[in-house]
A and B are shown apart, each in its own frame.
Chain A
């Protein structure tokens, strides 16, 4: 049976002073946890910002759940959530108010959104602070509020850029559990990360991006196979593939 495609990117390109993303092709299937890894400046964030409509590509196509995201960005955004590495929330709103605002932006039925918000606040351990303004929150708490905002409209596709940066072990585990729960429920998660153990443990497939191109992709075993070293860690595999691009071919 053919798996539904959650994200299909073809020939995606974006240049600033030099090419940041160069004719990138990427396919992520529905219900998949996909990790995008690569060295600093490889083009991971630029790729994802184009997918979420935050940047306009110079060339290429983006389809989210079959919707042409460049032709109909509103419909594509309706089923997508984006969480950046720097949690940008409103200091003067409480988590509860923030979630109400996000639900308003995504035009979610108020009763459904409220029930979902309460559930997320509980899952993420934010209940004692649900009605406190976010201005005094730690980075971890802010990240949790932003994650709750990304999930409150029940997106089919969640795209996260380094969501675990700066989180303590407890918060990181909560975030990972929530993401795993989303995938188990049929959602699709695409995540960039520098923490290769997380990609190794959580992702169904891993894409390695370097110089704006996807140089290798597959399950951990498939990636190992490409390097010819079957018993190595993802870190070793990653370094081999990035340092010797020929191995990725």
Chain B
């Protein structure tokens, strides 16, 4: 046991909190589920290893001393993964700034703040690296199994990427604090985190479409232009890629550089981190005046509910950014549609499943906000309106928003192919309705601000929503090309919904 208030003592405390957070996240707060979760993790790990085998198995024999093409491709994929790590790290740093939990205790204790926040930054870095290693492990394991132990060096690269992402996130968030102040940093940092997470994937797809008419995000990484203009093979830029391919000396350099970056970040920013946490703790939400343009309007209870849902969503930029992040992924297919339309190609059929998938995911998010994320549940429950009508009004609010978001895409598609537009329109509505049904079965009572935790509250709902959207997207894709096989994924989607109904908790009527 370490002496109280030392760095190691604080680190033990942070590790214990981190472990319990993780455990609580995995078991949704119920310790009795630990066994079920352990079994689910094993099943998930087996599934992921099989998936990894199908995805990267063919690359296992890639030699360690590969040429520039390989280095470009590996670096691109590392950069893509790193953008997601960066996004996660920024979320963690922002949360550390603004979550009050134990801050009052820490800030009023006689322990030097710098020491506390050094440990806290290190904890963020370790947790980001741990999650990255966990997610990458099936791919690395399969590569090592099929191509040799040299691939295990990739673990070091992934961990190093996590440490660098955390170090940069601290710098970026502290920079935002100094630039725009604590009041705005929270929202901006969360939006930046989400955009960084999506940016690289979307950017690559846009380039791919503009250059090749393909949706593959790897196409630009294999382009002749990029390979010609990339740095020489001896450049330090390729060290992470070399390390991933099993060059242990490159790994040493990468690991040392990442640790140095984290140490520098801690040394430079831990004091300021503390100052900014103090500043954030003192921030109250500002006053926002609304225009009082009209008097009370005569509305039905259902319309009042729908209007309330719409207003709450539109007034919460963070929720809008989180919900509409999925819409950002529609940008590349929209571009594809535009190109296909001008060139008379049939590529727009690709749009149908993308639209349906996006509608399913957006519908799930909106349904959670509307059905579970009710900030005044007692008010609604004590109002003279039946529970069934309340639920219908909320479902209507979700479907109304979905219709508004997707209508322009479907209308645009109708100019290219009326059949594809009809299939897409139906698919959008069905996928959104299916996700809403899933959320309805697993509804809980939560605050809207807990939106980010919705995927933690029920793993079954999260997976059911995702698989249902995928199945409806597949149905729509096959229906758009007139294949009778479309019935198969539709049956699977209905089966998923039937399973959800069977597995729903008893309190959800």
Contacts and interface: CB of A to CB of B under 8 A. Distances in A.
B292 A77 contact: no
A104 B290 contact: no
Contacts of B288: 132-133, 135-136
A88 B292 contact: no
Contacts of A54: 378, 381-382
A174 interface: no
A89 B308 CA distance: 12
A179 interface: no
A215 interface: no
Interface stretch (A95-103, A201-209, A216-224): A95-103
B304 A104 contact: yes
Contact of A110 (B284, B298, B376): B298
Contacts of A94: 289-290, 292
Residue with the highest number of chain B CB atoms closer than 10 Å, among A80, A106, A107, A129 = A107
Interface residues of B, number: 37
B229 interface: no
A57 to B, nearest CB: 15
Interface stretch (B76-84, B271-279, B311-319, B357-365): B311-319
Interface string B114-136: 00000000000000000000000
B382 to A, nearest CB: 4
Contacts of A92: 311-312, 315-316
A149 interface: yes
A176 B296 CA distance: 27
A93 B289 contact: no
Interface stretch (B212-220, B346-354, B383-391): B383-391
A149 B303 CA distance: 18
B253 interface: no
Contact residue range for chain A? 35 or more
A109 interface: yes
A151 B295 CA distance: 18
A131 B289 contact: yes
Contact of B376 (A53, A90, A100, A136): A90
A78 B384 contact: yes
A94 B290 CA distance: 7
Residue of A52, A82, A90, A102 with highest tally of chain B CB at under 10 A: A90
Contacts of B381: 52-54
B57 to A, nearest CB: 50
Contact of B290 (A53, A77, A102, A133): A133
Contact of A105 (B295, B296, B305): B305
B149 interface: no
Given A105-B305, A131-B292, A136-B284, A80 B382 contact: yes
A93 B312 contact: yes
A114 interface: yes
9 contacts: A52-B378, A74-B386, A77-B382, A77-B384, A89-B376, A100-B304, A105-B384, A131-B291, A132-B289
